[in-house]
Amino acid sequence: MLRRCLAVFAALFALALGIAPASAGVDIRVDLTSQRMVVRTPDGQSFNWAVSSGRQGYRTPNGVYRAQRLEKSWYSRKYGGAMPNSVFFRGGYAIHGTGDVGRLGRPASHGCVRLHPANAAKLFALVREHGMGGTRIAITGVAPDSGSQFAKARPERVKLAKAKAEKVKIAKAKRKPADWATARGRVLERDGFFAPQGALGFRPVTQQGDWWLRR
């Protein structure tokens, strides 16, 4: 009973001071696995957009965040790129527009969440309209490995390259320095080396000790 009275008293006190309860904001859900973003607003609007998260070697952090600040025109001095309509949610991580629209739908960023410029502008306006405090950004899933996808897309080329490399390795291992003395002796041991039997002027040779004599 006492707790209920305290809750009622706190609500009346807040109303007396003109403090309105926080309104619901934009709900942003990023799925790194599918590289998609779903956006819902308190007034019933819904959007589903392709994104680009952190590529191999970079990571887009999973978690639930609030919008921290809005930057209409931002430039990354660290990576040297424009970040229009940025919605920052964790330090230097932001949802922003990109000119590299051809790679949307797969990992391509340094950790930020990229959007088509038109979609980024729309999201920026929605967050500003409904307020940063109520905006919720949830990032889930695991980004696909773009390097593995590239290898899987060309399996035959990869197999041929590995087979060729293995053949070269085996050939180098079998290769030995030339033994010309042994090779010369083996050739001369063949009776038909100088000319076939019965050829005009043919005189076969034979070995006697360390000397080769004509018959």
Residue 117 lies in a domain: yes
Of 87, 85, 91, whose CA–CA distance to 136 is shortest?
87
- On whether both 161 and 82 belong to a single domain, the answer is no
Query: Could you tell me the pTM of the whole model?
Result: 0.59
Residue 73 lies in a domain: yes
Residue 193 lies in a domain: yes
178 or 144, which is more confident? Answer: 144
- On whether both 49 and 124 belong to a single domain, the answer is yes
pLDDT tens profile 167-198: 777 777 666 666 666 666 665 555 555 555 55
- On whether both 117 and 65 belong to a single domain, the answer is yes
Phi and psi of 40, rounded to 5°? -130, 140
Residue 12 lies in a domain: no
- On whether both 64 and 36 belong to a single domain, the answer is yes
Q: What is the pLDDT of residue 198?
A: 52
pLDDT tens profile 58-89: 999 999 999 999 999 999 988 889 999 999 99
- On whether both 153 and 137 belong to a single domain, the answer is no
- On whether both 136 and 169 belong to a single domain, the answer is no
How far apart are the C-alpha atoms of 125 and 21, rounded to whole Å?
22
Q: What is the pLDDT of residue 167?
A: 78
Indicate the angle between helix axes 155-174 and 146-153, nearest 10 degrees.
80
How far apart are the C-alpha atoms of 134 and 141, rounded to whole Å?
23
How much of the chain exceeds pLDDT 70, in percent?
Answer: 63
**Domain residues for 198?**
180-214
Buried b / exposed e along 112-147 (16+ C-beta atoms within 10 A) = bbbbbbebbebbbebbbebebebbbbebeeebbeee
Number of H helices, E strands in the chain: 5, 13
How far apart are the C-alpha atoms of 186 and 92, rounded to whole Å?
76
Neighbours of 52 (CB within 10 A): 24
Contact 97, 72 (CB under 8 A): no
- On whether both 67 and 109 belong to a single domain, the answer is yes
Residue 13 lies in a domain: no
If one counts the domains in the chain, the total is 3
- pLDDT exceeds cutoff 80 at 152: no
- On whether both 131 and 58 belong to a single domain, the answer is yes
